[in-house]
Chain A
Amino acid sequence: MNDNDLTKVFDTYRPALGPDLEFMGRLEQRLEAVEFIREQQESRRRRNHIGLVAAAVAGCVVGAIATLVSPWIMSACIGIAGMSELMAVVTTWVVAAVLCVASILAVYDMCTTSFKKLEPAPRNVSNF
């Protein structure tokens, strides 16, 4: 057997492969699944981004409002609850911080949830 014979052996090598259509169909299904995951990741990224921006805006607004009403809270703490001045300052800032954090979390959650509801239903990739 010489080199030409070896070349001939591989030239004539035609194993029985499965149907092309079946192979391509399987590949298309997997590509579809990849596209679906990509779309989901992209929409989640977009949703998180919008949620973060909205939460930051809400945090700023609530923080500003809390700062503006802090003298009133402080005087209420001293007048109504009978706290010392130091205790009243601490309480005021704790209340402001809690309000800010709560509003940030609530707005972020509301944004991500509502945007998720607005998105189109996922395609059927159950065959994957």
Chain B
Amino acid sequence: MNRTEFVRHVERCQRELRRFLTALCCGDTSQADDLAQDALMKAYLSCDGLQDDSKFKSWVFRIAYNSFISGTRRPCPTIGLEQATAMESGDCSDSAFRYQALHAALGRLSEKERAATLLFYMESYSTKEIAKMMNTSSDAVKQQLSRARVHLKSMLENER
């Protein structure tokens, strides 16, 4: 894959990747963008190893997830749900405030649970695909999803 092809593939999936990483970083868009840049650089440096171009997106997501896990992560905002809801913005289009409760709820999940949840609900990957991306078993992913679901439901329920 040459540079032009790589950029074309990236253009197609960069928004989804950044959205996924933003949620993974609990709303920290600058950290998410840095992670996305790093992941894409790693992908570019090893893109000769990618056999099937149709799997580009899941391959990049896998690299991004690994980049997130392998030490580049910073602590998520430690602000509690109560504080999060108490913070109000006059600008209702301010997405940082709009998703504050969701980000805080995601921040309470473990990194693996968060990643599995986001890949499953946001990107609609199957548990098998998620297991492959996260280098774990399908059963483990199902367990993580189940735990995350319970936590998220209870945390977001309290918000209503």
Q: Which residues from chain A sit less than 8 Å from chain B, CB to CB?
A: 1, 3, 6-7, 9-11, 13-18, 20, 23-24, 26-28, 30-31, 34-35
Contacts and interface: CB of A to CB of B under 8 A. Distances in A.
B33 A30 contact: no
Given A24-B7, A24-B14, A6 B95 contact: no
A9 B98 CA distance: 12
Nearest to B18: A17
A16 B10 contact: no
Interface of B: 3, 6-7, 10-11, 14-15, 18-19, 22-23, 27, 29, 33, 36-37, 40-41, 44-45, 94-96, 99, 102, 117-118, 121-122, 149, 152-153, 156-157, 160
Contact of B10 (A11, A15, A24): A24
Chain A's interface: helix, strand, loop or mixed, by majority? helix
A16 B40 contact: no
Contacts of A14: 19, 95
A15 B95 contact: yes
A18 to B, nearest CB: 6
Given A1-B156, A27-B41, 4 more contacts: A9-B121, A13-B19, A15-B27, A30-B37
A34 B41 CA distance: 9
A30 to B, nearest CB: 6
A27 B29 contact: no
Nearest to A17: B18
Contacts of A16: 29, 94-96
